Structure 1
Amino acid sequence: MIRIENLRDHPQYRDRVIDWLWQEFDAENTREFFSSVIDSSLNTADLPLTFIALQGTKIVGTVGLWRCDLISRQDLTPWLAALYVHPEWRSQGVGQQMQRFIKEYSQAAGYEHLYLWATFSGYYERYGWHYMGNALDYPNKSVRIYKCHRYPDDVGL
C-alpha cells in the first residue's frame, strides 16, 4: 500500500527527491535550483510543500504543492508541481494517488482552484484536469496549462 507523506517528516529522502527532479525536469535549471525549492519546503509551514509516496520504507514518487510553477502565470496559485514516479512504479496508480492527495490537501487548505502545466496532453485530462490554454515556460517554451476546480467533477479520482 502506498502512503503519501510530507517530506518534512522524512528528511532522509531529501537528496533522492532533489536528484529525481533535477534529472527529470532539468531543462533550464540546475541541481541547486531544485535543492532550493526542496529546502524551502522543508523549512516553511506554507508553500512550497513536498510530499513523497512510500511503499513501506521505499520512496517511489514525489509531488509538490507550490505557490507558483510558471513565471508567466504568477496570477494563478497554487500549483501541483514536479509530479514524479520512479520508473519501476509507473502505470500502477501512484501518479493518480499523488494527484488525488494534492487535490484533497489543497481543498482542505481552502484553495478554490489548483493548476499545473505540462508539455504533453492526454494524461491529466483523464483525472479531471481541464485544459485552459497555452502559456510560456521560461525562456520561450510553449506549455499547456490545466485547472482543477473545487473537485466535484474529478474523473478517475
Structure 2
Amino acid sequence: MRIIYLKEKPEFVDEVASLCFAEWSHLSPGKTLKDYRDSVIKRISGSEVPSVLVSVDDFGKLTGTVSLKEYDMDIYREFSPWLASLYVKLEYRNFGLGSSLLEKAVQIAKDSGVTRLFLYTPDKEKYYSKRGWKVLSREIYHEVEVSIMFIDLN
C-alpha cells in the first residue's frame, strides 16, 4: 500500500469525487457531483495545504483518500486549515489504512508550518479522540449534529 499525492494519479479524480460525494453530500446541501469534482481539482496540484492524498494498493487500485483544505465549514472561516474527506473503501477497512492516511496528512500539515489543524465529523469523534484530537464544540451543521475538533501540531 502506498500513500501518494493525487497529482501523481490524476485518473483517480472522478473516483475520489464520487466517493466523497456519496459519503458526505448531505453535509453540503445543493452541491453537485460536479462541484465535488471541481473542489478536488482545485486541490490536486498541492503538496502542502491544500492537497489531496490517495492510497493505492499493489495493483494500482485506489483504496482511500484524505484532503487538507484551507476551509471546510462555511460558518468557521476563521479556522484554517482543515483535514477533510478521510475515506477508506469498505474492503480495505480495519487494516490501519485510515490511520496511515491521517498520520501522513497531519505530518504534511506540520511540515508545512501548520500549528493547529481542524476537522469536523458527524460520527467519528471517538476515532479522532483516540488519535489526539480534541473537541472544540458540538453543534448542528446543515441539520446534522457534528463535532468540531482540532489537534495542535507544535
TM-score, normalising length: structure 2 = 0.89
**SS, match of residue 123 in structure 1:** helix
Aligned residue type for 1:93: G
What pairs with 1:114-125 in structure 2 (closer than 5 Å)? Answer: 114-120=117-123, 121-125=125-129
- Identify the range of structure 1 (20-29 vs 75-84) with the bigger mean alpha-carbon deviation: 20-29
Distance 1:14 1:39, change over 3 A: same
Structure 2: gaps (5+ residues) = none
Mapped to 2, the partners of 1:149 and 1:45 lie a distance apart of 20
Structure 1 match to 2:148: 145
The structural deviation recorded for 1:42 is: 2.3
**SS, match of residue 135 in structure 2:** strand
Does the CA contact (< 8 Å) of 1:117 and 1:143 recur in 2?
A: yes
Q: CA RMSD in A?
A: 1.6
How many residues align? The count is 149
Identity in percent: 23
**SS, match of residue 126 in structure 2:** coil
What pairs with 1:100-139 in structure 2 (closer than 5 Å)? Answer: 100-120=103-123, 121-137=125-141, 139=142
- Deviation track 1:16-36 (CA, whole Å, cap 9, x = no partner) reads 111111111121231012111
Does the CA contact (< 8 Å) of 1:72 and 1:136 recur in 2?
A: no
Mapped to 2, the partners of 1:146 and 1:26 lie a distance apart of 20
What pairs with 1:27-106 in structure 2 (closer than 5 Å)? Answer: 27=26, 28=29, 29-43=31-45, 47-56=49-58, 57-106=60-109
Does the CA contact (< 8 Å) of 2:138 and 2:145 recur in 1?
A: yes
Structure 2 match to 1:155: none
Structure 1: gaps (5+ residues) = 152-157
- Deviation track 1:88-118 (CA, whole Å, cap 9, x = no partner) reads 0111101100110011000000000111100
**SS, match of residue 128 in structure 1:** coil
- Deviation track 1:106-149 (CA, whole Å, cap 9, x = no partner) reads 00000001111001231111111111112443x34331111111
TM-score, normalising length: structure 1 = 0.88
Instruction: List structure 1 runs of 4+ shifted beyond 4 angstroms.
Output: 43-46
- Identify the range of structure 1 (79-88 vs 49-58) with the bigger mean alpha-carbon deviation: 49-58
The structural deviation recorded for 1:47 is: 3.8
